[in-house]
Structure 1
C-alpha cells in the first residue's frame, strides 16, 4: 500500500496545508479551552453555530478536538482531488456523473452544512434537480450491476426527488391536498416518506458501488457510516439520552455533534465518489459480462484475507441493516426536514372565488410548536435543530412539565438553564397538560372580558337619554359602548384640496380640548381609557342651547365638501352615523356636549357624548360651557 503523499493528488498540497492548519488550530485552542475553560474559539472552529458552548468546558474540550480531527480528515478527503496522472474516463456518462457529484457537493456545503446560507424554496428545487441528475446518471454508469437493483434504485430515487420538488412547489402555492392524502392514508407524512425513498436509493447505490469495483473502501465506508448515523445512531442516542436540561447540556451537544458528523461523512462520500471515477479504469470496467470469482476454499486464514481485500461483504451487510431500518415505522428522532422562520412567517392566504380573500387554516400540533420555537428569539431551544429532533425534545420537556416534580424541574433548570414551567404556551401544541392549562387560562380571560363588556354595556344602557327640545331630522343612540385607541373621533372628507396630516387641525383642538373643525376635516377629543356612550342628532334648523347636566359644551363651524360627515376612530375602529342632512354639502354648525358618568362610586366611570349638527354659516368657535369637573 502506497503512502498518501500530498504530491500524489491534483490538489494535494493545498488540501494538506488547509486540513493540517485547521487541525493545528483546533488542537491549540482545544488545549487552551481545557486549561482556561474559555472554549469560545474552539467551539466556533468545530461547531460553527450561534448557540452557546457549555459553561464548564472540562472534558468536552477533548470531544471538540476529536470532532475537529474528523473534520480535518474530511477536508483532506474532499479537497485533495483525484490522483495525479488520472483523468476522467472517455465515457460521457461518467464525466457527467463526476460533474453532478461536485455540483451537489457544492450545494450541500454552501447552503446546508458549512456556510448555512439562506435557502429559499427555489434553491431547494435547484438542489433537487441536481439530485435527480444523480439518480439518472448513477443508473447509467452502474450498468454492470443487476438490473433489478438498478431499477428499484431508479424508481425510489426518482419518486423521492420528484415528490420533493412537488412538495416544494405545492408548499409555495399553499396547496395542502397531497399532505391531506397522506394523513388520510395513515402514513407518517409526505416529507418523511420522501426521505425514506431517498434513503432507500442511497442504500441501493452503496450496494451497487461495492459490487462495481471502481470505488475504494473509504468511499464505501463513509457513505455507509453516514446512513447508519442517520437511521440508527440518531434514534438510539435520543432514546438513551433521557430528559435533557437544555441545549447547553454536554450530552445533547454530543448528540447533535453526531448529526454534524453524518453531514461530514456524506460530503466525503460525494467527493470520493467523484474522485474515484477519475481513474483510468473508470470507463474500462467490464459492464455486462463481469467474471464470476471462483469459490474460495473454506478456511479461516483465507476468509480473513478475503475480508481484508474487499469491503464488499461488509458494506452489503451494513446496507442491508440500513434497508431494514429504513422500512421500520418512522422514528420521531431522525434528522428529517427543517422549517425555517421564513417558512413559518410566509403568508398562508390566497384568493378565493371571485377574488375574495381567503385565510388559510391555522397551524396546529407539531407544526405549530416548531414555528412557535422558530419565531421566538428568547427560546431555550436550538434554532438550527431539525424539526423532528426539535419535536422529540419538546415531548421530553412535556414529560417533565406533566410530572411537575420540583426536583426534576430544578435539575433541568440547573443543567441547561431551562425553566420548564415558563414554557406553558410554547409546549401547549404538543403537550396535553400544558394545553389544558392554556385553555383554562384563555377561558378565564374570555370570561373576564365578557364580564367587562357586559358591565360597559350596562353603563350605556343606564346612561340618561337626551330629550330633544325640538324635533331632530334624524337621531341615533349608539347601542354599544364606543372605545377608541387614542381618544380621537375624526371625520375626513376627501376633496383633493386638504391634507389631514398638515392642516393644523389638532393645534386648534388644543385650544378648547373638545372639538375643532376645518373644511372637510373635524376632530373630537375624549379620554381613551374610558368607555364613551354616544348620541348623534341632525336638525334642519338651529336647536336650543343646552348646558344643564353637561361638563363641557363647544360649537364650531364646519364646511362639508361631499355631503357625508361620518365621525369615527381614525385607527379603523367604530364609525358613527352620518351627520349630514340628507347628503347636503356646504356649511354646518357642529355642537358637542360632553359629560362624565358616575359608576360604582367613581365620578369618572364613563363618558357621555351628544353631537348635534345643523345647517348654518360661520366659522367662529362658541364655548357654551367651559370645562368643569364632575
Structure 2
C-alpha cells in the first residue's frame, strides 16, 4: 500500500468512526458521544449545554468542522512518502526525528499521555518539545548569531515554564498559573522559526503558510469568538471553542517540515558552523538552555509543601463527588485525605490552617488515627490550630490514611460504591420477598406488589407525574390522618416510618367488590389524570423512599377521572400492609368505609 493510500485509509477510518459516534449520539440523545468520536475525549455532564451556552445544533456543527479538519490532518501527515537521510548531518537527522515525534504527539500520542499522572504527563511533554525548541535553531541556515541567541532565550523560557508546569502537578506544590506565558513565548519562538524557514530554500511556501495558519488561527478564532458574543449570543462561543481544536495545521506543519528537511540541501550546515558538528560553545549553550532551568527549579526536600485547596479541580472527586475509600487508588489516598482536610465546602472551616504544610497535615492525621478517645482528637486539633477542633475528626476522612484502624471500627467505610450498591440491592430484594400479595383471589387488569421503603414521617402518594402536585393533598392527608386528595395526587399517611411496608396495587376497568374484612382503615377518594398515568414512585437514583420494584400505571382508561380506594392494616409484629384499588369513576367525593 502506498503512502498516499495509507493517508486516505486513515482519514476514511476516522470519518467512519465519527459517523458511528454520530448515530449513537442521535439514538441516545447524548451529544457527548459525538464529542468523544470527534476529539477522543469524554466531555463533562454539562458539556456547554444550557443557559448561556450554544445550542446542541451549533455544537454539533462545530464538531463536524473539527472532524473534517482532523480527517484532512491524518491524510496530509500519512500521505508524505519517506525520504532517505543520505548526506544529512547528525543535527538534521536528529531534528527530523524530533519533528516526526512531535507531529505524532500532537496527532495521537497525547491520548495515552492523558492516562498518566499529571506530573508524568507534563514531564513527557517536556521530553518531546525541549530538544525540538533547541535543535531547530541549530539547523537553520543563513541566520545571524543574534537571531539564534534570541531564539535560544525563547527556548530557555519555554523549557523553564514547562518544568514549572510539571513541578506544579506534584503533590504538595503550588505555583502560579503560567500556561498563558508559555503559549505566548512558544508563539514567539515559532514565529522566528517560520521567518527563518521562509528564507531557507529547504522548505516550501506551502509549509510556511501552514505554520502561519497553525500560529494565528487559534488566536484569531478565540479573539473573534469573544468579540462576537455580544452580537450573536452564546452561538458565538462555538467559534471560541474551536480555537482549542485547530492544532491540525500545526501538526501538518511539523510533519511537512520534517519531510522537506530531507530534500535538496538538507545536509548543509548553518553558516559559520563546521559540518562535523556544532562547536563546543554552541553545544554548551544548547545544553544549558535545557538543563539550567531544570536545575534551578529543584526544591529543597525540607521545604514545607502546600497543596491544592478543597476547591481545587483535583479534589473534585472527593469533596464534591464523595468518592469513597474503596474506589480510591492507593496512590491517591493521601491526596484524598488532604483534600478532605482542606475543604471548605458548605461553609465549614478547614480541618487544619491553610498555612500548615502537607507533611504536618499528614502527620497530624496519622496521630488522629491512633487517638482512641474524642478528647485526644480535640487536643491534637487544638495543637494544630484547627478552627473545628471541637468537632473531632471524621472517620470518613481518616479512613484514607489509616484504613486498618478505621476499618476495624467501621468496616462499612472500606467498601466501594459497587459493594455498597450490591448490599443495598440484596437488602431491597430480601425485604421485597417478605411482602405477599394483599388480594390474591381477584385478578385485575393491572396489578403488582412491592415493599415500599418509608422515610422520615412516613406516607406516600399515588399521582399523575405530569399533573400539578402541590401541598394540598399532603395537607388534606395530615388533616384527615389517613387519606387526602387534590388535583392529580392522592396522599396516604402510614403508621410506620423509616422502615419498609408492603403495598399491593390493582387497577380495574370498573368498580370491584368492596372488601372490608381484615382491614383496619378503608377510604375512597377521587383523582384526575390529565396525562393518562397514575403512578406510585419507585426508589431509584439515590431516593430514600419508594417501591422496591416498578409498579404499573394504574390509569387503565387513559386520561380522565378515577376512584382510588385505599386499604390499610397490619400490626406491630408484621409490616404495615396497604392495598390500592383504582378504577374509573367521575365522583370526587370522599367516602370512609372503615375508620
In the superposition, the TM-score normalised over structure 2's length comes to: 0.42
Structure number, greater radius of gyration: 1
In the superposition, the TM-score normalised over structure 1's length comes to: 0.40
